[in-house]
Amino acid sequence: MRLVAGLGNPGPEYAATRHNIGFMVVDQLAAQFGSIWERSTKWDALSSKCGAVQLVKPMSFMNRSGYPIFAIAQFYKIALQEILVVLDDLSLPLGRLRLRAGGGSGGHNGLESIIMQFGTEEIPRLRIGIGEAPHEESVDYVLSRFFDEEKPLVRSTIDRAVEAVKCAIDNGLLSAMNTFNPESSPAVRRDESVSPRRPDLQGKETEQA
């Protein structure tokens, strides 16, 4: 892997929201490598160089993530199979990781933008489970912050996601898939006996989800 792109929305109002877990993973990677984020004048993104690997955070909002990643890949002549996109996934339980070499967007606007820009679904990705939205309030849910009781699992999930990315960089995607994709990955389930909690909503524009 030569380019690792974490997906999210820019701005403090979106920091630490479920939709921004991709940002959290690449932020932790950059911190581990001692790398500094720099705003590019060529494309709307922050980038951080970690050895031979470019870490990227598009600053164009989620549903326009494709162009900055495509532009960076073109500029550095990075092949599709050398790109790894890190993103949140509503369909996976909180704490579950799933690496894949390609596939559809699953309704994720950021990934859909990337697929449209590159013109193919064959884009490696690491999906990180954020849990299913209650009462189908998916836009509000992904733009909400994690509940206090979820935060320990979120921290450990980010740690594992960082290790999965490092494994993919060092040993290839297949090795990372074999190591981090098992169905035995930890997950948290809400206690159905507890009244559903409404998300802590942040300011948002619907298109950003």
Question: E strands along 67-138, which residues?
Answer: 83-89, 97-100, 125-129
Q: What is the number of residues in the chain?
A: 209
Bridge partners, residue 98, by sequence? 127
Q: ∠ at Cα 138 (136, 143), nearest 5°?
A: 150
Return the closest-CA partner of residue 122 out of 83, 68, 176, 169.
Answer: 83
Rounded CA gap, 82 and 92, in Å?
A: 25
Rounded CA gap, 168 and 174, in Å?
A: 8
Active site residue 19: yes
| Token reading at 156 | 């450990």
Residue tagged active-site, from 19, 96, 145, 166: 19
Q: Which residues carry out catalysis?
A: 19
